[in-house]
Structure 1
Amino acid sequence: MKRKLIAAIGVAGMMVGIVACGSDDKKDSGKSGADGFKGQTLTFWAMDGSTPDQWLKDLTADFEKQTGAKLKFEEQAWNGIQQKLTTSLSEENPPDVFEIGNTQTAAYAKTGGLAELDDLKKGIGADWSETLNKASVIDGKQFAAPWYFANRVVLYNKTVFKEAGITAPPKTRAEFYAALDKIKAKGKEPIYLPGQNWYHFVGLTIGQGAELVKKDGDKWVSNLADPKIAAAAEEYKKLQAYSKAPKDKDEATPQQADIFAKGKTGAFIGMGWEAATAIKANPAIEKEIGYFTIPGETADKPEGVFLGGSNLAVAQGSKKQELAKKFLEIALSDKHEGALAKVSGVIPNKESLNTNLVGNPVAEAAAPSAKFGGTTPLIAEWAAVENAPNPIKTYLTAVLNGKSPADAAKQVEGELNKRLQQKQ
């Protein structure tokens, strides 16, 4: 998997209206098998880095053998994909099947661009992980299928931990703090956690069972005043106190992996691909890097995490609805879903396929958190919230600088509500 793929996971964009095209009499006959689909061509869009070469080759062979149809694969670049896809879905011949970010799915569904897939869910999705499938369900209807996911883990320096007398990765939050105390006592920075690593904060809110927004009549408004949000903010503040990182910067300013690469920091919370960034900055750090699941209150329940990932969807305007669903049946089968997890190290859409992650230390650390994960609010209105300056980041900095969570919420909720009311 290419690094920029995970970097782009979970980024939601502003959407414009989509008008579904095509009519029932122009769609495929719905017949199954090679005879029913023979001679047709299905267009499949996926993002740069999502489809390993051998995986795509094997999938194409199976699809064409089982259906008699041809697969036309078109790789897409992340840059500009939202506008390109929005435009394509409004035209007469959109891509039949396409990859879509899990947090983008609601916006596309509500503008009419996605076909309903309730029958597909009943046919092949009975054991899809509930947390991973949540982003595909809008207003109780299945508008996409969960494909692959990733979440944050703790990347740690084995030598720093060993020198502090820590013999095993912590399994609980209390053990994690105890480990950080030991590292601090040795004069090292226990953890590098910038004040605005807001996706980790989102994970903490998920762990608290909190929602960042709530419904007020027919509008979405800030829910930052919720005591559960305050508890997550206090937990973030407690952890961030072990760090020398700036309180008003995020994990990319500077790149937290570059700080970790210097070898003087015990750990940081990030995506697995950030190890490569650290190694590029200091090749000697490679042998020092280990990974463990972000600990929760108890050993059997890891901390909540933000689940970034991608779904597969069918265009409402596709004239090949049944063929598209057949493609999804094949692509999401245990054979191909498991193979993708194995080669790319991504979290598959069902727990039973996690055996494919054995031997991949990053994936093994990430997998336990997946069923306790979630996303930012799955509403089209959320897209504007993430635009700079992100009010959630402002909220975090205010808390870290001494404001109570309640006062910090009051500081930003006007801006947050203003963005939630922007026209999509």
Structure 2
Amino acid sequence: MKNRSFALSTALVCALTLAGCGVLPGGSQKTTVDVWLMQGSVSGEFLERFTSEYEKEHPSVELEVTFQQWTGIGKKVMAALESDDAPEVIEVGNTQVARYAESDALRDLTLESVRDLGSEEWLPGLAEPGSINGSQYGIPWYAANRVVIYNKDLFAAAGITEPPKDRAEWLEISEKLDGNGRQGIYLSGQDWYTLAGFVWDEGGELAVERGGNWEGALHTEAALRGMAFYQELQSHGDGPKDADEVTPPQAEVFAKGDVGQIIAVPSAVPAIEKANPALKGKLGFFPVPGKTLEAPGAVFIGGSDLIVPEKADHRAAAVEVVTALASERWQTELALTMNYVPNKTTLAGVIEGNEGTAAMAAGAARGRATPNSPQWAAVEADNPIKPYMTAVLQGQDPARAARAASERITAALRP
């Protein structure tokens, strides 16, 4: 059922006015644009402000917003795309666009991307997953990515006066912080999103496309170098080799106060401070360091794109809504309200006063997404990267373990 948190439903409006659906008193026609957003993506305050302003500027349009849960959203979106009652605009995860585009049920937004939306300035980690075979189906909306969160008191006690600028310095300070009952860094053994950044920094890939077919690529020399760096960094702490970052939740481990660093999104800080109020005001942030001083390290960039179903009743009106949400004005509002990274590199300055978000924005400029295969979800469903990482950290031959993981990825990526 369509619903709206701060306005009467269309059906109720129709009943109260004794008019046909979409027809208001005086005979003026309203176009209802149905928008699906994900639960938690925006605050009610932001959404009400956007809707009020948009409807004021577009008096013939009424926005009807429904919040969706992430759990099970893939099947729900696919069903909507195939139905004759598709919403006009849908928020989707940036790595999900390829799956939906494969259905040929999305509107091609390439023209609007170039003409109206400044696509040349988009963050690659949001833009590239939305582009399929040269056509843009997903419009970048917002981004979030991992940074290094550190304990300022532990840094100061170790004589470390500023964050590291490259990987070599990062290893040095992590080793310096480690010992005497403290961990230099808490890095679990199966944090494969973090590993992906190290692989990309080395020039490697998780998977590559050849002749229309996708193949696992963890066994390449570049990818193995990324794993070797992960192994060295992970050794400067006591993170479990056979678990990921939520087992146990790394924010809870960090909150104990004896861990120098974790790699996480800045939104982890409220949970840390709630678990240990004594850490409030004592946490800092820096981008994941790169191989050289010239740029931060590559990171996996998560976030959302906006898509328009081909079967939507009001596609032109939908594109106007997407254009507004992706505009500089509302990107700035969204970043300041929700502490997200805006969709364009040129807008990074709007969040400079927020240390955590600014660190995200610096890393997001080199952000990447998972391989743009419609079948990538099958890889994550039974993720072979995690046991591969554990095998290496527990002493197995890296090349052999990587080859086995690559073969499993290849099998999962077969249509």
Is residue 2:58 matched to residue 1:60?
A: no
Aligned length: 385
Partner of residue 95, structure 1: 87
Residue type matched to 2:373 in 1?
I
What residue number does 1:112 align with? Answer: 104
**Which residue of structure 1 aligns with residue 15 of structure 2?**
none
Is the 1:165–1:182 Cα contact (8 Å) retained in structure 2? no
Is 2:364 the counterpart of 1:396? no
Q: Does 1:275 align with 2:272?
A: no
Q: In the alignment, what sits opposite 1:319?
A: 313
CA pair 411-93 structure 1, distance change in 2 beyond 3 A: same
Instruction: Select which of 233, 253, 256 maps to 2:227.
Output: 233
1:363 to 349, 357, 368: 357
Q: CA-to-partner distance for each residue in 1:174-194, whole Å, 9 max, x for gaps?
A: 221221222125552100011
Distance across 1 between alignment mates of 2:256 and 2:49: 42
Letter of the structure 2 residue corresponding to residue 116 of structure 1:
D
2:410: which partner in 1? 417
Cα-to-partner distance string for 1:229-256 (whole Å, 9 max, x where unaligned): 0110111011011121111110011111
Match of 1:206 among 195, 200, 207: 200
TM-score (normalised: structure 1): 0.87
What is the CA-CA distance between 1:415 and the residue it aligns to? Answer: 2.5
User: Quick check: 1:329 aligned with 2:323?
Assistant: yes
Please state whether the residue corresponding to 1:103 is helix, strand or coil. Answer: helix
- Give the whole-Å Cα distance in 2 for the aligned partners of 1:130 and 1:371: 6
CA-based RMSD = 1.7
The corresponding residue for 1:308 is: 302
1:79 is aligned to 2:60: no
Contact residue 212 and residue 223 of structure 1 kept, 8 A: yes
Q: 2: distance between equivalents of 1:177 and 1:415?
A: 32
Partner of residue 148, structure 1: 142
Between 208-217 and 234-243, report the one with greater CA deviation. 208-217
Displacement after TM superposition at 1:48 (Å) = 1.1
Of 226-235 and 54-63, more deviation after overlay is shown by 54-63
Contact 2:117 2:327 in 1 (8 A): no
Structure 1 residues 402-411 or 298-307, which shifts more?
402-411
Is the CA contact (8 Å cut-off) linking 2:35 and 2:66 kept in structure 1?
A: yes
| TM-score, reference length from structure 2 | 0.89
Is the contact made by 2:142 and 2:304 (CA closer than 8 Å) also made in structure 1?
yes
Unaligned runs of at least 5 residues, structure 2: 1-27
Report the CA distance between 1:285 and its aligned residue: 2.1
Query: Among residues 40, 57, 66, which one is paired with 1:49 in the alignment?
Result: 40
Relative to structure 2, which stretch is displaced further, 68-77 or 400-409? 400-409
Where in structure 1 are there 5+ consecutive unaligned residues? 1-36
Letter in 2 for 1:79: T
- Structure 2 residue aligned with 1:123, among 99, 115, 126? 115
Distance in 1 (CA, whole Å) between partners of 2:321 and 2:190 is 41
Residue type of the partner of 1:411?
A
| Structure 1 residue 59: Cα displacement | 2.0
* Identity score, percent: 37
Contact 1:59/1:330, CA 8 A, preserved across alignment: no
Matches within 5 A, 1:170-181: 170-181=164-175
Which moved further from structure 2: 176-185 or 44-53? 176-185
SS at match of 2:248: coil
Return the alpha-carbon distance in structure 2 between the equivalents of residues 185 and 417 of structure 1: 41
Of 333-342 and 127-136, deviating more is 127-136
Contact 2:123–2:343 under 8 Å retained in 1: no
CA distances 1:281-315 after superposition (whole Å, capped 9, x unpaired): 22222232211111112223101100001001101
2:181–2:258: 8 Å Cα contact kept in structure 1?
A: no
Distance 1:186 1:295 in 2: 25
* Whole-angstrom CA distance in 1 between matches of 2:229 and 2:342: 29
Letter in 2 for 1:261: A
